[in-house]
Amino acid sequence: MLPQAYNFLASASVIPVMVIEREADAIPMAEALVAGGIKVLEITLRTPCALAAIKAISEAVPDAHVGAGTVCNGDDFSAAVDAGARFIVSPGQSDALFDKSITSNTPLLPGAVTATEVMRAAEAGFKVLKFFPASTSGGAAAIKAFSGPFSSISFVPTGGIGPKNLLEYLQLPNVQAAGGSWMLPKDKVQSGDWHAVTQLSREASELSKIKESIQ
């Protein structure tokens, strides 16, 4: 069972990992994803306009549940929350991130790919963890192996996941959702082909239904 603060993930089997290069793309990109049935969005803090994009989408796309990814320190955590992020995703973990999540009451998905990292996050009270980079950290087999000693932990793997291997992850009971950017091909984004993004998002949403049927 998901902790209450993470209930937004209950119907989010696929989470787009968004790298927004142009602020003007933020709103139409989010609208295209939502139109395709994907409403939980992770905007990575990898570009200068990321915080502005979070703010714009939070204000203009009410059906989107916007979070920030690639958050690596306390200052970025605070800036993302101030911009409107409703959850935070980090490739790793630190005491500063744990403290920010607890004091701000903002859900954090800290990164963990080893047993030691899983144990450290769990001891700090975090039960939903990012597994990154998934494909080079043992993939679905590694996550499946974690289900034995860490039965109360759920994972959101990202990195090297696409339509061809998505179900390998979604079929695992300890995978809550999987992240990727295949529904946001760079050429389609650059040309503003939001119809294509919506179609790819709709296909990803159909795979989400398979996850629901497995559960």
β-pair type (108-109, 88-89)? parallel
Give 150's contacts (C-beta < 8 A, 6+ positions apart). 115, 118, 119, 122, 174
Q: Which residue type is seen at 3?
A: P
Report whether 84 contacts 54 (CB < 8 A).
yes
Q: How far is the C-alpha of 74 from the C-alpha of 100, rounded, in Å?
A: 6
Give 114's contacts (C-beta < 8 A, 6+ positions apart). none
The token pair at 140 is 């679905």
Of 67, 68, 55, 57, which Cα lies nearest the Cα of 30?
57
DSSP state of 131: E
Rg over CA atoms, the chain: 16
Catalytic residue list: 42, 130
Q: How far is the C-alpha of 99 from the C-alpha of 174, rounded, in Å?
A: 25
